[in-house]
Structure 1
Amino acid sequence: MKKTLLGLLLTLASATQAQQKLTAFEPGKVWPDDKGTHLNAHGAGVLYDKGRYYLFGEHKIAGPRGNSAQVGVHCYSSTDLYNWKDEGIALTVAPEGSGSEIEKGSVIERPKVVFNKKTGKYVMWFHLELKGKGYSAARTAVAVSDKATGPYAYMRSYRPGAGQWPLGFKEEWKQPAPNEANLKWWTPEWRKAVTEGLFVRRDLQPGQMARDMTVFVDDDGKAYNIHSSEENLTLHVAELTDDYQGFTGRWNTIAPAGHNEAPALCKRNGKYYLITSGCTGWAPNAARSFVSSSIWGPWQQLGNPATGPDADSTYHSQSTYILPVAGKKNAFIFMADRWTPKNPIEGGYIWLPLSFEGDQPRLQWADRWNLGVFDQPKKAAVAQ
């Protein structure tokens, strides 16, 4: 009887917690969904559609296996960005032994969903690594659904840019330099060789590597896949087809040999802003930022957008997405993850308001804040 009563009390406590409406963001803290369970949507992106936000992220499990795809991509929905309803698994991994590229044990990272107005389809892109091959496949993959919440049907994966040179690639760069194979990494000569296509030439026929990624839809409806390529040394931006399910073959490089990953992109007053991280595995590092008047570049590198204590680790997190807040002009939320690779399901989320000083994006830590900060841009992002 005592055990039964205790169980009932715990159930009631959980239900009460699940029913409590959140009114602010508390970065880094446990973030319960409508069932009282910590959100399970890592490396996430957000889609705003018909008055509702949809959060898509990697579903993690406990233990080391949780860094591979054991379940799929989780979806949540919200009308206020604070309180999230569990919508279940939007993309389910295929069974082990099925031979599918997304079978259980593959790696599915950083899912992003966009809506295509021409086809009426919801299109999900993600970074895909094939089961048992580590991170050598370096592919980007696409799945499609008729509903925002899914289920999403897996289509295929790509190595983008196969047989296509990037924009502005000089004719003399199309042939390898005599000594480039023997260049020592990180020397000025090697950096110059990377800028002049050392890895682009290597991967021309199979297609370019595509790891950490995001998807951006511009004002004209054109969509782009921005991903870390060339052994994570150079970011690539590649134009998607009109249905958002493939590549046109038009692409370009961003910051060759800059060693950037975790790209997150937004557009403000006609300019494009990019926030990335360095490449230090699961360990956090200082974020980087860039600005350009064109999606194709040239991109100007700016400083670390983070300010204050722990800015050198981006508040112990890594960028995943920049979310435009619906109905508010130039209001953006910086989304990042606190990775816990030994027990991935415990990973936390850092959401902070993104402000600007001229062209420089700025982040300031807040223990608690709400969307009212965008109505008071000169005041601190603190909620009562």
Structure 2
Amino acid sequence: MTKKFVLWVHYENGEHYNDAACAIATSDSPDSHFVYHGSFNPYGYMSRDCTLFQDDDGTAYFISAARDNADLHIYRLQEDYLNVERLVGKLWQGEYREAPAVFKRNGKYYMLSSFCTGWDPNQGKYAMANSMDGPWGMLSDFGDETTYRTQPAFVLKRSEQEYLYFSDRWNGSDYFQSSYVVLPIEFNGDIPILNIYSTLSFERDANSIAGHS
């Protein structure tokens, strides 16, 4: 291991949206002095909306939208996290999913994603698997018909049973007025449920989240 913080991002050149690549940077600190290592298309595939997931054993995965957003690809990373090791799978081909967010709970893997509707929100979906290698299940609804006007960004594990959904709330008419929304993910058995709350309160021991409508 390199003992460095490794950053993966979606890369475009600032002039058009056709590069559809990923880029990598590393640093000794999570908030400064990142060293840029360049951009590339993993195995020649397009790569747009993306996320990273680190499993319990340290194995890391890069998930990104490919084929003009028609597919989601899962790549296992090399041990140093600086390149892809292999393409694990092509998920929901032709379904046009973006904004992936992955988490693990009670041995099951969950992936949240959004349909491609530009800056307008849509019905979020989730899918489950027993392994990052799959097979992944069918896409099922998550939240309401606009996912409470949000799009997945990432999921933060607060404790073994508490997970927070971090999301973007885009303002298509003025991007600089876009904001973030944080909501608790609740569960009915293994089924993730997203409800809307106006405020949240947290206990210090990370074992309690209270939502207020």
Q: Pick from 235, 238, 244 the counterpart of residue 81 of structure 2.
A: 244
Within the alignment, does 1:312 sit opposite 2:145 as a pair? yes
Give, in angstroms, the shift of residue 302 of structure 1: 4.2
Runs (4 or more) in structure 1 with deviation over 4 Å come to none
Superposed CA offset, 1:27-57 (max 9, x none): xxxxxxxxxxxxxxxxxxxxxxxxxxxxxxx
* Partner secondary structure for residue 212 of structure 2: coil
Are 1:145 and 1:152, in contact at CA under 8 Å, matched by a contact in 2? yes
Secondary structure of 1:265 counterpart: strand
Task: Render the CA deviation track for 1:152-190: whole Å, top value 9, x for unaligned.
Answer: 111111211x2xxxxxxxxxxxxxxxxxxxxxxxxxxxx
Q: Calculate percent identity across the aligned residue pairs.
A: 35
SS of 1:322's equivalent? strand
Give the aligned residue type for 2:5. Y
Give the aligned partner of residue 2 of structure 2. Answer: 119
Rounded Cα–Cα distance in structure 2 between residues aligned with 1:358 and 1:227: 28
Match of 2:118 among 276, 281, 285: 281
More strand by share: 2
Alignment partner for residue 354 of structure 1, among 174, 181, 185? 185
Q: Kindly indicate whether structure 1 or structure 2 has the higher relative contact order, using CA contacts under 8 Å at least 6 residues apart.
A: 1
Question: Is 1:128 aligned to residue 11 of structure 2?
Answer: yes
Counterpart of 2:155? 322
CA RMSD of aligned residues (A): 1.8
Aligned length: 212
TM-score between the two structures when normalised by the length of structure 2: 0.94
User: Does 1:382 find its partner at 2:209?
Assistant: no
User: For 1:249 and 1:271, how far apart are their aligned partners in 2?
Assistant: 22
Q: Counterparts of 1:339 and 1:286 in 2: how far apart (Å)?
A: 15
Distance 1:216 1:158 in 2: 19
Return the alpha-carbon distance in structure 1 between the equivalents of residues 33 and 185 of structure 2: 32
What secondary structure does 2:17 align onto? coil
Name the structure 2 match of 1:31.
none
Cα distance in 1, alignment partners of residues 191 and 173 from structure 2: 35
SS at the partner of 1:341? coil
Q: 1:258 deviation in Å?
A: 1.5
Residue of structure 1 in register with 2:91 after alignment: 254
Structure 2, unaligned stretches of length 5 or more?
A: none
Name the counterpart of 1:149.
31
- Spell out the pairing of 1:1-384 with structure 2 (5 A cutoff): 118-132=1-15, 134-160=16-42, 162=43, 207-306=44-143, 311-325=144-158, 328-372=159-203, 375=207, 381-382=211-212
Q: CA deviation at 1:376?
A: 5.1
Q: Is the 8 A contact 1:303 1:360 kept in 2?
A: no
Give 1:344 deviation, angstroms: 1.9
Tell me the amino acid that sits aligned with residue 295 of structure 1.
Answer: M
**Equivalents in 2 of 1:258, 1:299: separation in Å?**
14
Report the CA distance shift for 1:215/1:369 in structure 2 as closer, same or farther (over 3 A): same
Normalised to the residue count of structure 1, the TM-score between the two structures is 0.53
Code of the aligned partner of 1:272: Y
Q: Distance in 1 between matches of 2:23 and 2:208?
A: 40
| Gap regions ≥5 residues in structure 1 | 1-117, 163-206
Partner SS for 1:296: coil
Higher Rg: 1
**CA–CA separation in structure 1 for the residues paired with 2:26 and 2:13:** 19
Q: Assess if the C-alpha contact under 8 Å between 2:45 and 2:67 holds in 1.
A: yes
SS of equivalent to 1:313: coil
Bigger helix fraction:
1
Q: Distance in 2 between matches of 1:249 and 1:294?
A: 15
Give secondary structure in 2 for the equivalent of 1:345: helix
2:86 and 2:40 map into 1 onto residues whose CA distance is 12
